[in-house]
Amino acid sequence: MSFLHASAQEWAEDHSLAADVRFGRLESIAFQRHPEIYRWFGVDGSSAAERASRPAPSASGRALVWLTAVIAIIGIVAPVGAVAALGGDRFNFFRMDAENSVPLAGVLFIIAALTQLVVLVLWIVRGARWDALVTGIVVVAVIFSGFGLFAMPNSAAYDDFTGWEPWYPAVIASFVISLVSAIAMFARFRVRAPEAVADEPAAPPAVDAVSAAGAAIAALPAAERAAILSDRDNALEILHSRGILDEATLERALGHDLGTLFLLDDSPSGGTR
């Protein structure tokens, strides 16, 4: 559904006092259960029908978004957490012996290195284009992995912990992978994803639109046609009562057959007070 209002009357009640009325939009909302009909209501109707026809995001697409978010969070949290474990020990922000902080930091740097590798591969697969968010994640990893190069041996020396060497390659790997990634991404700074420019849906010729809409409306049950007409006309009355439509425009709009209100959008005085 591409409409935020359940009826044309609700739309009229919320309509801005400063904006002109788009009659095709109003009648499209009244017909919102029938995109095969309101698609004929000028530019507003065809645009709304095009939005309504777009497929909903697939389960795989949503899963990819969640996976990307998780990777981004891990890519930042892992190196920051590793340095926090080492730095807290070194500067007494909290007390953690090196025999505990160094292995913890080592595991986090392993996770950071693997995450940065995944980020780099995904970035290349997706075209190696500039992405500020991805680059920011990598830069954070470079900075904190760089801190880790000094923090791990210093923290170990502070507590006379000699078992830090097996964990140090993880720090180096995290730093090297993130540094290479950062250099590659900044080198591609001018390579941007093409901006998607949506083509404005072309409104069908008015004569054809009126004919096609009229035939589709005639096929609706009489009770439904009456309910839609009532919703449309009540919305027009609401716009008039709020001072958005003047008396002459209201009379012209009420005189239009169901499904032809969009023709007022192309008239010189359509939507004026």
Q: What pLDDT, on the 0 to 100 scale, is given for residue 68?
A: 81
- Cβ atoms of 74 and 135 within 8 Å: the answer is no
Q: Against a cut of 0.75, is the pTM above it? A: no
Residue 158's pLDDT is 85
Residue 204's pLDDT is 61
Tell me the domain boundaries of the chain. 8-40+204-266, 59-187
- Separation of alpha carbons 210 and 123, rounded Å: 50
CA atoms within 13 A on the CB side of 134: 24
At residue 97, the pLDDT reads 83
For Cα atoms 174, 162, 113, give the angle at the middle one, nearest 5 degrees: 10
Determine the angle formed by the axes of helices 132-158 and 59-91, rounding to 10 degrees: 30
Tokens of residue 231, six digits: 């919703």
Q: How far is CA 202 from CA 88, 98, 133, in A?
A: 63, 69, 36
Residues with pLDDT less than 70, the chain? 1-2, 53, 56-57, 61, 89-95, 194-206, 266-273
Residues 6+ apart with CB under 8 A from 154: 86, 90
